[in-house]
Amino acid sequence: MRPDTPADHIAEAERLERTAGLYPEDTEHLLLQAAAHLELAGERDRATTLYDRLLTPDAPHPASAPTLIRALKASNLWEYGHEAEARAIIDGVRAAAPRDPAPWVIVAESLESHDELTQAQETFTQALDLLLPPGGSGGAPSYEQRPLLFGRHRVRRLLGAEHDAWDAMADEVSTSPVPLDELHDPKRIWSLGSDNPAELRAEISRIQAELGSYREALSRPFPVAVLHWPSTELEELLTAYPSLESEYPSHEAHLSTIEASLRELSASGTPNLGIVTGTVPSYEAFAASEGAQPTEVSLLPQYATTLAARGRAVGWPPEAGAGCWCGSGAAYSRCHGEEN
């Protein structure tokens, strides 16, 4: 069940912390999720403790994304009164000039939420200068870079700035049914006080479009993943648990089923698809942690979801020219990606 109350968020955070203890190699990914739940529960001091734990220099597993963690910590600190420390961290993030868009988005939106609009615009612009230079030399914006464009567009509308090349690019890549100029119109708040039904209906439509964009971004915190067993692991699995042969009649059939399932999900409009690779020891440990038997077929998709939540998913389909996900060594386009 999706957490809905502070108590639910706290319980989920504590579950994720326990899971991190079982899988120390995934501590960073799991504790970041736990900190997010604590923030939603209003337990911001506890969230800061988790961020500090991840940033400890002598941690058993050093953080792979320390700048992102610092950005999250700064945003959280500012929300419960530690403005000076938050500003100092934000300055440090900007000075570090990360190549990952996420820390830029977090610190810029933190500035925006506290009415530091000029600094927010400068931060969005600094990030785009680094990651997506004007004139097309940086290529088309990636999915991860688009929030920089949208955030900058939103802040500039609040500041009354004229459109520029990046604002035009934001308009081009937006998939919202409502134009960005309408979504980011600073005068929209006044329409909520109108007694004109047409104006109110128009504003409701714009709000629904905004909510749809937010839901799309938040509804898949990790990929919808399909479980893949390499041939040696599948052989070991079926030797130990012969009753699973009905699920996996052969390795070739297993691979074909994975590709067919992913194509079907893609055709249905499901975004953010991926593949997770299982191992027998990991699966047995997962079954034990769930108090279940490895022979329970219903456990297999749960195992796949847990691996995805631990950051183990590889995106599907592979990029153009990349090797096939099955591990054959052949290009995806000449292997399972070949059109039937």
Within 8 A by CB and 6+ apart from 188, the residues are 182, 203, 206
Residue 242 lies in a domain: yes
Residue 131 lies in a domain: no
How far does CA 87 lie from the centroid of its chain?
25
Per DSSP, the chain holds a count of helices (H) and strands (E) of: 16, 3
Query: Contacts for 201-205 with beta carbons within 8 Å, 24 or more apart?
Result: 205/178
Residue 53 lies in a domain: no
Helix (H) or strand (E) holding 162: none
Positions of the chain with pLDDT lower than 50, given as ranges: 1, 136, 215-220, 340
pLDDT of residue 190: 52
Residue 50 lies in a domain: no
pLDDT of residue 218: 43
pLDDT of residue 207: 63
Q: What is the DSSP letter of 320?
A: T
Residue 143 lies in a domain: no
Look-up: residue for tokens 């923030």?
39
Residue 20 lies in a domain: no
pLDDT of residue 1: 40
Provide DSSP, 175-203: --SS-HHHHT-TTHHHHTT---HHHHHHH
Q: Is residue 64 classed as helix, strand or coil in its secondary structure?
A: coil
Helix (H) or strand (E) holding 154: helix 146-159
Residue 138 lies in a domain: no
| pLDDT per residue as tens digits for the range 149-192 | 999 999 998 888 999 989 999 999 888 777 888 777 776 655 55
pLDDT of residue 195: 64
Looking at the structure of the chain, the number of domains it has is 1
Sign of CA dihedral 106, 109, 114, 118: positive
Q: Which domain holds residue 276?
A: 224-334
Residue 19 lies in a domain: no
Look-up: residue for tokens 């190699």?
25
